[in-house]
Structure 1
Amino acid sequence: MILKHFTDNDLYKFSVMLAIQKLYPWAYVKYAFTNRGGTQFPEGFAERMREEVASMANLKLTQEEKQFIKNKCYFFDPVFVDFLEGFRYKPEEVTITQNGGDLSVVIEGYWYRTVLWEVPLLAIISELYFRMTGAEPHDVEEKAITKAKALAGMKADYSEFGTRRRFSFDVEDKVIAALQANSGEYFKGTSNVYFAMKYNTIPIGTMPHEWFMFHGAVFGYRSANIRGLESWVDVYDGSLGIALTDTYTTDSFFNSFSLKQAKLFDGVRHDSGDPLTFADKAIKFYEQNRIDPTSKTLVFSDSLNLEAVKEIKEHVAGRIHDTYGIGTFLSNDVGAKALNIVIKLTDVKLHKKDANFLQAVKLSDVAGKHTGDQKEIDLSLRTLGLE
């Protein structure tokens, strides 16, 4: 059994789960697995994965996990925490098939439930692949200690974001222990709620792309960012205040980011495209709106390594507060090639009884990395004037 803890998941999946329950409790959706790297999975992989998914039906929130969430996640109301205690995964929501080396994973069900599947399934796929192909991790602690000391030497505030594409649970565990022990005040926490509890640190995360993808599909692409952010404020009243910018490209985001929202949100997150260009756009936006950029935070989370962090830090030094969410470079840099895999929202209904699904798409600041139905992508590009 690969997944052994209910909270072995990213915080933002729980935060968006609460927002869905409060605002869109009848929403019904589909997700699909995308194998961006073209990895060929070994024979019998789907069967083994189905066994892992079936075992997740037994996961439940422990009293220790519940108390940790109550203590650290002050933005979750007691009704939601009690709901998590009674929540159980339904394996029948996940369909797994295999054709040769090609793997298919589709998730379908009420959005408030299925939202939790993404990160655990990706973690299972990654760890199971390395188990079945006989890969062994090397220099886990040594590499993590070197990186931790280097990041501290740069005075870079950072968090570990590596659960979805980790080599294994054990590797991520050892990495976080090494980071915390060797970075001092610069290690700010982890996106993984279980490891945040184990190491008595802060669970980090706010909102996912799927939040804006849903709003774009249901309410229109021009209003997706505005409505997504306003809805987030309706739920969290200013908590969890880092806005994700690139669901429909950063330019589109800043065109719709209002003065009210800019003042209310603590900062914005970069997740695709050139980080230096993004930083300049964000700083210019704040300056044009008479907001002191040094009072805001930029979170960088796209394919980071030590060289990228150093370059970004030097570029923004003294201009704005910067922090870094570092994923695969920390949790899967142990000698094996990390899988390039994602699970994305593909189809949505505002209500299960609605006759037809609406297509959900994600654009990107990187050419060729748009996700979803091509006709719907073309429609969103035309609607936003991005052709």
Structure 2
Amino acid sequence: MNFATRAHNHNYETDFIVRSLLDTDWYKLAMLQFIWLHFPDVNVRFSLINRTRSVRLAEIVDEGELRRQLENVRSLRLKRSEAIWLQGNTFYGERGIFRPDFIAWFANGFTLPDYRLSREDGQWLLDFEGSWAQVTMWEIYALSIINELKTRAGLAGMAETELDILYARAKIRLWDKIERLRPVSDLYLSDFGTRRRHGFLWQEYVVETMAAELGPAFIGTSNTHLAMKHDLEAIGTNAHELPVTMAALARTTEQLKVAQYEVLRLWQETYGGGMLVFLPDTFGSTQFLKSAPDWVADWTGLRVDSKDPVAAGEEYIAWLESRGRDPREKRILFSDGLDVDEILRLHRHFGGRIRDGYGWGTMLTADFRGCHPRGGKAFDPLSLVCKVTAVELGGAWKGAVKLSDNHAKATGPADEIARYRELFGTEGVANAPVLV
């Protein structure tokens, strides 16, 4: 792929960013079936949140083009070949994860609901509202669309020679990372970079290059479309939206306290097997582990998100040992703001003590920092998220809360955040800069 020539000559007006419903993180599909099974009547609201407030997206991303891309996704339907692949493929060693009745609904009954778009103080206000089983899929599509439109705005007006230099530098940077990782033994990496990618074609190039150059150390991609197209493993766990939404549905304090475990019980009942990796930091990892039922220690592993990764890994190992489990038989997946230095540092620290793996996202598929031949930050990645922000309960909308292991990543109404913090505590929660 000659990215420079394509960017220079391409007619973007005929080029849709998302061309398949499978162009999303695999865990969205696993969660979609879970929601469809257990929460068919729940209504939610998802909202776009740009945590990089210094980047005024509404002044960069054209409204007409944004609407055109969003409308295109709403027109997509699951293809027959995609339905066959989902139903017949093996995921995490198990065939038949997706039920025939779910696939039939996804192929024939699923539609993305409408959206609300407006601007305020240089930012796009973008909301999606409706059935949880419909709205949830907007998250990754919306993020990848806005990030690629930001990329296209940065490419506009660049001469072909400048584009050559831009992509040559980005390719050299990727190659340098691969060269540093290649000699490392027992390293397991996967691509988690769909939501903040530079662009679809660049993500595909990165995934193909990683697979070719790192061999078995590159275990797959979270992008379901790329996994299908290139015969790779589709990788994914589950996300904060599950306990966030279940907690918002709680009608009593006791229901709120146990929501984070009730989600896991339902998930295990639904999937079991190799998909038992839990995400503990929705309301703080320390409190989660302290109060977790003993059966949680039998799960395959833990995904670290917003906590200092060394502290999180040591906490998990100590917790496993206190519950009489051997950490060497468990998996820990690091996935927050990773780059090659951090991956190597964590592997040196935890290698041999626990089965460490790395879901490499933004700094794998969107690392164009300093690559522009004339300087500037047009291609620097954003901390852009799309979160469930409200749940309909008793005919009224109720704010949804995520606390995180990082105070700076908390989302929700201020009074509800305060109430949750009083209930769950803040032990082990820190203040840290939000990079991505």
> 1:386: Cα distance to partner?
2.6
Partner of 1:40: 56
> 1:236: Cα distance to partner?
1.2
1:57 to 58, 74, 94: 74
> 1:143: Cα distance to partner?
3.0
SS of 1:248's partner is coil
1:265-284 map, 5 Å:
265-284=299-318
1:237 to 259, 272, 284: 272
Partner of 1:378: 418
* 8 Å Cα contact 1:56-1:89 kept in structure 2: no
Partner of 1:366: 406
Partner of 1:261: 296
Partner of 1:77: 99
> 1:87: Cα distance to partner?
4.6
1:118-137 map, 5 Å:
118-134=139-155, 137=166
1:133-212 map, 5 Å:
133-134=154-155, 137-139=166-168, 140-155=170-185, 156-212=187-243
Partner of 2:375: none
> 1:64: Cα distance to partner?
2.6
Partner of 1:290: 324
> 1:90: Cα distance to partner?
3.3
> 1:45: Cα distance to partner?
2.1
* 8 Å Cα contact 1:59-1:88 kept in structure 2: no
Partner of 2:286: 251
> 1:157: Cα distance to partner?
0.3
Q: Quick one: distance in 1 between partners of 2:66 and 2:109?
A: 21
Partner of 2:13: none
What is the identity, as a one-letter code, of the residue corresponding to 2:406? V
| RMSD, aligned α-carbons | 1.7
Query: How far does the alpha carbon of each residue in 1:354-373 deviate from its partner, in whole angstroms, 9 at most, with x for none?
Result: 22122211112123221111
> 1:258: Cα distance to partner?
1.9
> 1:234: Cα distance to partner?
2.0
Structure 1's 226 and 266: CA in aligned 2 closer, same or farther, altered over 3 A?
same
More displaced, 230-239 or 163-172?
Answer: 230-239
Q: Quick one: distance in 1 between partners of 2:61 and 2:297?
A: 50
More displaced, 31-40 or 97-106?
Answer: 97-106
Q: Quick one: distance in 2 between partners of 1:87 and 1:56?
A: 15
1:339 to 382, 401, 410: 382
> 1:99: Cα distance to partner?
3.7
Residue ranges of structure 2 left out of the alignment (5+ in a row): 1-15, 157-162, 372-378, 428-436
More displaced, 113-122 or 131-140?
Answer: 131-140
* 8 Å Cα contact 1:275-1:300 kept in structure 2: yes
SS of 2:215's partner is helix
* 8 Å Cα contact 2:61-2:149 kept in structure 1: no
Q: Quick one: distance in 1 between partners of 2:174 and 2:228?
A: 20
Structure 1's 111 and 91: CA in aligned 2 closer, same or farther, altered over 3 A?
closer
Q: Quick one: distance in 1 between partners of 2:207 and 2:52?
A: 26
More displaced, 250-259 or 279-288?
Answer: 250-259
More displaced, 34-43 or 275-284?
Answer: 34-43
> 1:199: Cα distance to partner?
1.4
Partner of 2:131: 110
Query: How far does the alpha carbon of each residue in 1:326-368 deviate from its partner, in whole angstroms, 9 at most, with x for none?
Result: 0011110133201210011111135xxx221222111121232
2:259 to 207, 211, 224: 224
Structure 1's 357 and 193: CA in aligned 2 closer, same or farther, altered over 3 A?
same
Q: Quick one: distance in 2 between partners of 1:84 and 1:72?
A: 19
Structure 1's 152 and 258: CA in aligned 2 closer, same or farther, altered over 3 A?
farther
* 8 Å Cα contact 2:61-2:146 kept in structure 1: no
> 1:145: Cα distance to partner?
3.2
Query: How far does the alpha carbon of each residue in 1:143-202 deviate from its partner, in whole angstroms, 9 at most, with x for none?
Result: 333323422322320100000000101110110010000001100101100011111111
What is the identity, as a one-letter code, of the residue corresponding to 2:297? A
> 1:203: Cα distance to partner?
0.6
Partner of 2:351: 317
More displaced, 164-173 or 141-150?
Answer: 141-150
> 1:296: Cα distance to partner?
0.4
What is the identity, as a one-letter code, of the residue corresponding to 2:349? H
Q: Quick one: distance in 2 between partners of 1:132 and 1:309?
A: 31
* 8 Å Cα contact 2:112-2:138 kept in structure 1: no
* 8 Å Cα contact 1:269-1:301 kept in structure 2: yes
What is the identity, as a one-letter code, of the residue corresponding to 2:312? F
TM-score, structure 1 length as denominator? 0.94
> 1:100: Cα distance to partner?
5.8
SS of 2:353's partner is coil
Q: Quick one: distance in 2 between partners of 1:306 and 1:167?
A: 18
More displaced, 174-183 or 333-342?
Answer: 333-342
SS of 2:396's partner is coil
Matched, 1:95 2:116: yes
Report the number of matched residues. Answer: 382
* 8 Å Cα contact 2:190-2:360 kept in structure 1: yes
Q: Quick one: distance in 2 between partners of 1:239 and 1:82?
A: 25
Q: Quick one: distance in 2 between partners of 1:257 and 1:237?
A: 18
